[in-house]
């Protein structure tokens, strides 16, 4: 497929914050991308050290051998790259986005800084004023399966969070089709420890996480802000959901279960079967031609081990004829489809590359 990409189509790419988990995953994906030249990776901690010394897993890749970490200087990034990925904490990413955009560079932000359309909502959920509210109207929420056309040619691309991706992709088509009520939605999600980022905090030490499962961030996890924003747009009315994230003792992966109320009765075998058919038709219409959303058939249910290291989101559903509820389950890799892979997918769309380039 990529034989048509010639040298003239190669883009220069930099990663700010390349030493974190999402940054490392970006390095992996972009080193293998045939239309990308990775020209700069930044880390204050590792500045001056060769990439292959910090991440020996890349030592066999020729494209990695001449790359060393550098300090995150905007002037250097603007000079060396056409596209800059920001794998930084919220609040910090905007400090780089503003001057890079002013320099004419395309910015793909993996933080939460540009996901929300309302600066007041950002302050409510993140606890401080938005650092660049004037850029919010320019930012494109880069959920490719929903906003593909808006991503094309966008200069400021805001990548969705990992939990939101696992909830929005299963739920948006159902709300748009009017198959489920926007009231009473419950989402339970379980995430691997890498979702907390590469940091030395007591809660994420091995002995604290291993052989342990716990809820956290309730009742107002920060990702609720973008989840409810996008669900409200899909439903055409304000949507408030109950969301409970859990930390589980695996490295990576998210499994989400949604508990939904159908807009028509699904109690009893006949009504449940009818709803099941409508849901199947809805998902087929939404995702039959999407390269990274897999609808599981038969008795199969999503399992994180089948998506780890990939850009796929797997989903399945069951109608419970006893309760009349619709259960939808999704699985994704929080570092790939939930972060870096989705960012590369958005880059492919924005640059006009085949969408699956460098991904699987």
The Cα 133–Cα 122 span in angstroms is 10
Q: Which residue has the higher pLDDT, 3 or 92?
A: 92
* Fold of the domain spanning 163-333: Dihydrodipicolinate Reductase; domain 2 (3.30.360)
The whole-number pLDDT of residue 165 equals 98
The Cα 334–Cα 114 span in angstroms is 19
How sure is the predictor about 235, in pLDDT bands with cuts at 50, 70 and 90?
Answer: very high
Q: Which of 64, 29, 6, 14 is nearest to 356 (CA)?
A: 29
> What CATH number should be reported for the domain whose range is 2-138?
3.40.50.720
pTM over 0.85: yes
The whole-number pLDDT of residue 296 equals 97
Is residue 105 classed exposed, middle or buried when 0-12, 13-18 and 19+ CB atoms within 10 A define those classes? buried
With H, G, I as helix, E, B as strand and everything else as coil, classify residue 67. coil
The whole-number pLDDT of residue 141 equals 98
Query: Does the pLDDT at position 306 exceed 90?
Result: yes
pLDDT digits (tens, 9 = 90+) for 36-73: 999 999 999 999 999 999 999 999 999 999 999 999 99
The whole-number pLDDT of residue 3 equals 39
How sure is the predictor about 360, in pLDDT bands with cuts at 50, 70 and 90?
Answer: confident
| pLDDT-above-70 percentage for the chain | 98
The whole-number pLDDT of residue 271 equals 96
pLDDT digits (tens, 9 = 90+) for 265-304: 999 999 999 999 999 999 999 999 999 999 998 999 999 9
The Cα 151–Cα 143 span in angstroms is 9
- Extents of the domains making up the chain: 2-138, 163-333
The total of other beta-carbon atoms located within 10 Å of residue 200's CB is: 6
Q: Which residues contact 128 (CB under 8 A, 6 or more apart)?
A: 91
Residues known to be catalytic: 162
The whole-number pLDDT of residue 6 equals 42
pLDDT digits (tens, 9 = 90+) for 147-172: 999 999 899 999 999 999 999 999 99
pLDDT digits (tens, 9 = 90+) for 196-231: 888 778 888 888 989 999 999 999 999 999 999 999
The residue whose two tokens read 């919010």 is: 136
């Amino acid at each position: 497929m990529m034989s048509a990409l010639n040298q003239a189509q190669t883009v220069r790419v930099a990663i700010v914050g390349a030493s974190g988990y999402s940054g490392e995953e970006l390095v992996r994906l972009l080193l293998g991308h045939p239309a990308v030249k990775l020209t700069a990776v930044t880390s204050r901690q590792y500045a001056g050290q060769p990439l292959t010394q910090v991440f020996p897993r890349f030592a066999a890749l020729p494209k990695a051998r001449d790359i060393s970490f550098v300090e995150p200087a905007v002037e250097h990034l603007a000079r060396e790259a056409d596209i800059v990925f920001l794998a930084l904490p919220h609040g910090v990413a905007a400090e780089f986005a503003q001057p890079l955009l002013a320099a004419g560079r395309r910015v793909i932000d993996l933080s939460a800084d540009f996901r929300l359309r309302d600066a007041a909502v950002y302050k409510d959920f993140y606890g401080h004023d938005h650092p660049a509210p004037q850029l919010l109207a320019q930012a494109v929420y880069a959920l490719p399966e929903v906003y593909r056309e808006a991503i094309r040619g966008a200069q400021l691309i805001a990548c969705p969070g990992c939990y939101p991706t696992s909830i929005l992709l299963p739920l948006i088509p159902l709300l748009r089709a009017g198959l489920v009520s926007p009231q009473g939605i419950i989402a339970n999600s379980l995430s691997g420890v890498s979702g907390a980022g590469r940091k030395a905090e007591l809660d994420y030490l091995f002995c604290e996480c291993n052989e342990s499962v716990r809820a956290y961030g309730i009742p107002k996890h920060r990702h609720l802000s973008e989840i409810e924003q996008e669900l409200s747009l899909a439903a055409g009315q304000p949507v408030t959901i109950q969301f409970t994230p859990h930390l589980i003792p695996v490295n990576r992966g998210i499994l989400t279960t949604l508990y939904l109320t159908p807009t028509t009765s699904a109690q009893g075998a006949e009504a449940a079967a009818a709803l099941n058919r409508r849901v199947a038709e809805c998902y087929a219409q939404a995702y039959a031609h999407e390269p990274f959303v897999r609808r599981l058939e038969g008795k199969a249910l999503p399992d994180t081990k089948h998506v780890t290291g990939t850009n796929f989101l797997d989903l399945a559903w069951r109608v419970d004829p006893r309760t009349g509820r619709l259960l939808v389950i999704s699985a994704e890799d929080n570092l790939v489809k939930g972060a870096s892979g989705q960012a590369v997918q958005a880059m492919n769309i924005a640059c006009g590359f085949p969408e699956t380039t460098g991904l699987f």
